[in-house]
A and B are shown apart, each in its own frame.
Chain A
Amino acid sequence: MYQYTAFDQKIVDQRVAQFRDQTARHLAGELSADDFRVLRLQNGLYIQKHAPMLRVAIPYGLLNTRQLRTFAHIARTYDRGYAHFTTRTNLQFNWPALAQVPDILAELATVQMHAIQTSGNCIRNTTTDQFAGIAPDEVVNPLVWAEIIRQWSTIHPEFAYLPRKFKIAISGSTHDRAATQVHDIGLVALKNDAGHTGFRVIVGGGLGRTPIVGTVIREFLPWQHLITYLEAVLRVYNRLGRRDNKYKARIKILVKESTPAQFTEWVDAEFEATQNGPTLLSQAEVDRIAARFTQPTYKTLPQDDAGTVTFAAGNDEFARWQRRNVHAHRVPGYAAVTLSLKRKGIAPGDITADEMERVAALADRFNQGELRVTHEQNLVFSDVEQRELPALWRELQALGMAVPNIGLIGNIIACPGGDFCDLANAVSIPVAEAIYDRFEALDYQFDIGELDLNISGCINACGHHHVGHIGILGVDKHDEAWYQVTIGGAQTITAPGTGAAQARIGKIIGPSFAQEQIPDVVENLIQTYLGLRERDDERFVDVVARVGIEPFKERVYAEVD
């Protein structure tokens, strides 16, 4: 993982000092609430229902155990002993005191962390594939590029006051695990026929009020031009994006209203005028940043560990966990492991300070002192020796993080919702809990098979409900919370005909439901699916793609009436 230079450290330290001064001026009455609001948001600080909420950046999801222990310390010292991992691989503290936030940021800076641009109308934390660098299907490792983007976007003078927030995702694998098609900019690192590295550039995807799958505006951008091209896109957006209506201000609306062809023309003209200028990347610059990454060390091991294979043969529970929570690794004898933060009675993504420390100890023992955060609100150990899997599994069982629900209905993705968030129309966590409990039986979950269930408490879609195979959205009807249900959405699904992988936005099945109806509605959707599937490996989302939403709709509303 990337190690700060003295230069990186200085920028973060100076940002803390700047925000400390801003906070002091605000508390002294010299900086109005309105003016301060924009500044604090760009430092990750919301003022929420009960207290401020501080969102800490976890750049492209990478974390070391020193940082995780610092989170634990902060949670205990400044908060209520726990924190929440978000769908954008960040961490949120829900109860800090405003006056103490500069101190928290200073603590974070001691372990090379910050909250810069985790909110506000600016370029946010870049996200990537949780298996970056280790996935067997990886073509280009996106991590160095993600760091280059992090540096470029940090305190960029031209793009600090955009029309709206701006999110970049980058993937380097054949299977897109970074949802690049539903970001403001999605980058797919790839190689051309000559073997040169470049990027497919996708613009104007997004969820929220107007869910749209992005448009490819450049099939292959040679890597040297990455920053110049990003600046071209951002400049067009900054100048022409709508500022009259915050619901129409994202880049996707500009791309849609101007048409993708016109938008591409603008970007190309801008790029034409700026390419080969000072933002052209050199191999030396890329190498310099790449050299700051520590690399995991690998032993020479056989492809499969015989002891673990034997153990799995004699232990169904372990075998089940291995099937769902252990993932292939490009290095023989290694595996990646997902630690499930989808546990009974605990909000998705939540973790206590004690648990953070126990996870840190496990990461030190089993994973070379590092871990990753996924956009599904789980944690990943990326470099576990296969022969250690049984031992790790036992430890995770003790933590309740060995629930074998990754990719299954139990792996519910949910925003904090109305329990914490000011924007929410409805609660998310109790809905997640009710569904979790209804489908708790693992045999049932395994029978249902792969299923993404996503819950958002409002149309901002932090729970990514549009791309859930089943999506649940909290809506406000006459000051009451109701829930709208979509089905058939997917982060990636194979398109019929072309075979290309693409994101898909779910379809609304009909009028919304009361909170207590939701577990039954989901149950009816599942039962409909089980009745319709033709093979065991035909997933829920595949059946919706094959037969449409009608049979689901009929059954659900027949039961409701």
Chain B
Amino acid sequence: MLKLINRYGVVDAQGTDGWITYTGDASAIPVGAKVLLPLTEFREFAGTWQKHVGTHGALGVLLTPADDPSLIAGELGKLALIAIDFPAFTDGRGYSTATLLRERYRYIGELRAVGDIQRDQLFLLSRAGFTTFALRDDQKVDAALAAFNDFSSYYQHAADRFVNPDVLPLAA
């Protein structure tokens, strides 16, 4: 079962926290929904979608590994969620995307890792600035939560310093 966690526990046992991913069929998205849009859809029809979801709903963007985050840099205020897809955990582009969103564009909202998300990458994903994690369905929640503490310290500055209140000090 897909589960959505943050570093403190389960956010949503259904794995989505109520977000609906738009896959081409607008009639599947109710008025007032929280809708996750592909980058091109958001860039072309953000205004239309804002009207559709209204003040009770929300907009998010789902980025593929190849998507350039600079394309939404000026519109981060419209977004309640940015999700970055990892089609395979070995595709590390999402780590740079996350870093750019946090470090360069100063996005401080929810940043979600989706796709092939396993416990063994959670520590790094968290350090790169992700705050929620849609676990692959075979993953155990307790073990996954423990993985945030795989290391108690590290050598580098990273993008989590903007969003993680528990961020640890650097080497000294």
The residues of A with any CB-CB pair to B shorter than 8 Å are 5, 7-8, 10-11, 14-15, 17-18, 22, 31, 35, 38-39, 121, 151-152, 154-162, 235, 238-239, 243, 273-274, 277-279, 288
Known: A35-B118, A35-B120, A157-B128. A238 touches B152 (CB 8 A): no
Taking a contact as CB atoms under 8 Å apart, the answer to whether A157 and B95 are in contact is yes
Report A96 CB to chain B, min CB distance, Å.
21
How far apart sit A22 and B161, CA to CA, in the bound complex (Å)?
27
CB-CB under 8 A from A14, the residues of chain B are 150-152
Report A324 CB to chain B, min CB distance, Å.
40
Of the candidates A155, A238, A274, A278, which one forms a contact with B155 in the assembled complex, judged by CB atoms under 8 Å apart?
A: A155
Taking a contact as CB atoms under 8 Å apart, the answer to whether A151 and B91 are in contact is no
How far apart sit A384 and B151, CA to CA, in the bound complex (Å)?
41
Would you call B51 an interface residue if the criterion is a C-beta within 8 Å of the partner chain's C-beta atoms?
Answer: no
Would you call B19 an interface residue if the criterion is a C-beta within 8 Å of the partner chain's C-beta atoms?
Answer: no
Taking a contact as CB atoms under 8 Å apart, the answer to whether A161 and B95 are in contact is yes
Report A518 CB to chain B, min CB distance, Å.
38
CB-CB under 8 A from A277, the residues of chain B are 103
What residue of chain A has the Cβ atom nearest to residue B65's Cβ? A243
Taking a contact as CB atoms under 8 Å apart, the answer to whether A158 and B96 are in contact is yes
Report B106 CB to chain A, min CB distance, Å.
12
Report A41 CB to chain B, min CB distance, Å.
10
Taking a contact as CB atoms under 8 Å apart, the answer to whether B92 and A238 are in contact is yes
CB-CB under 8 A from B103, the residues of chain A are 274, 277
Beyond A11-B151, A161-B89, A238-B95, list 18 extra A-B contacts (CB 8 Å). Answer: A7-B171, A7-B172, A14-B152, A35-B120, A38-B89, A154-B155, A157-B128, A157-B154, A157-B160, A158-B128, A159-B92, A235-B96, A235-B99, A274-B103, A274-B104, A278-B161, A279-B156, A279-B157
How far apart sit A187 and B97, CA to CA, in the bound complex (Å)?
27
Name B120-166 residues within 8 Å CB distance of A: 120, 123-125, 127-128, 150-158, 160-161
Of the candidates A8, A121, A155, A156, which one forms a contact with B90 in the assembled complex, judged by CB atoms under 8 Å apart?
A: A121
Would you call B52 an interface residue if the criterion is a C-beta within 8 Å of the partner chain's C-beta atoms?
Answer: no
- B: interface residue count bin: 20 to 34
Taking a contact as CB atoms under 8 Å apart, the answer to whether B95 and A160 are in contact is yes
Known: A11-B154, A39-B120. A160 touches B171 (CB 8 A): no
Report A18 CB to chain B, min CB distance, Å.
5
Taking a contact as CB atoms under 8 Å apart, the answer to whether B156 and A156 are in contact is yes
Name B55-109 residues within 8 Å CB distance of A: 89-93, 95-97, 99-100, 103-104
How far apart sit A239 and B91, CA to CA, in the bound complex (Å)?
10
Report A510 CB to chain B, min CB distance, Å.
39
CB-CB under 8 A from B153, the residues of chain A are 7, 10-11
What residue of chain A has the Cβ atom nearest to residue B94's Cβ? A161
What residue of chain A has the Cβ atom nearest to residue B93's Cβ? A239
Could you give 15 example pairs across A and B, Cβ below 8 Å? A7-B171, A7-B172, A8-B171, A11-B153, A11-B155, A14-B150, A14-B152, A15-B151, A22-B120, A156-B155, A157-B158, A161-B89, A238-B96, A274-B103, A279-B157
CB-CB under 8 A from A273, the residues of chain B are 104
CB-CB under 8 A from B123, the residues of chain A are 157
How far apart sit A66 and B51, CA to CA, in the bound complex (Å)?
69
Nearest 5 pairs between A and B by C-beta?
Answer: A161-B92, A157-B127, A278-B157, A157-B124, A151-B155
How far apart sit A467 and B89, CA to CA, in the bound complex (Å)?
35
How far apart sit A238 and B153, CA to CA, in the bound complex (Å)?
24
Report A11 CB to chain B, min CB distance, Å.
6
How far apart sit A422 and B167, CA to CA, in the bound complex (Å)?
42
Of the candidates B99, B151, B161, which one forms a contact with A158 in the assembled complex, judged by CB atoms under 8 Å apart?
A: B99
CB-CB under 8 A from B118, the residues of chain A are 35
